[in-house]
Structure 1
């Protein structure tokens, strides 16, 4: 089952564009991880300066291996200057259902 990690990050005002670029510049660090299935960066439509980072992993041990790696520490340190606050939530994906628009696009 897919293991999902969701980060909520509050970015210092005026640094949003820099944060987005730093995230993009470092995205390949995560994409190269053997257990990584993909990742997404979203900006909140309701809260200014709030971003959501979602990444999917083959399993929790695969994610934890990355989380404890030197690569993770370097990647996190590059994003840290932009971050005012943040939280992390982990979960196991139980079901995934495509909506009508996704079925048409396929």
Structure 2
């Protein structure tokens, strides 16, 4: 199995800002996925908390993610999303095992 470094962001948006946050996230998303160490990212909306989103991105390794995290591209990406955010947190992890689903 190939090692994957995973980042999970919990994003809290200002009341009513969710649709604009989603639109801008889609518009600026290639600034993340164009990075050579990125393996893709996903945006999820919480079904339990209004205005809460989770972003998961997978990376080849932690140094590749940290390189992106400290890049001008990441700063520009964050600045475009910042007006819609009221708070959040980040968790990082290494995928240890993966059990793929069997096709039905």
Q: Could you state the TM-score of these two structures normalised by the residue count of structure 2?
A: 0.95
Q: Could you state the TM-score of these two structures normalised by the residue count of structure 1?
A: 0.94
CA distance in 2, matches of 1:13, 1:26: 21
What does residue 59 of structure 1 align with?
A: 61
**1:17 positional shift:** 0.3
In structure 2, runs of 5+ residues without a counterpart are none
Count of aligned positions: 102
Q: 1:54-88: CA deviations, max 9, x gaps? A: 00000000000000000000000000000010000
Identify, as 1 or 2, the structure richer in helix: 1
Query: For 1:94, what is the secondary structure of its paired residue?
Result: coil
CA distance in 2, matches of 1:27, 1:71: 11
CA distance in 1, matches of 2:16, 2:46: 15
Which runs of structure 1 show a deviation greater than 3 angstroms over 4 or more consecutive aligned residues?
none
Cα RMSD, aligned residues only: 0.8
In structure 1, runs of 5+ residues without a counterpart are none
CA distance in 1, matches of 2:44, 2:73: 23
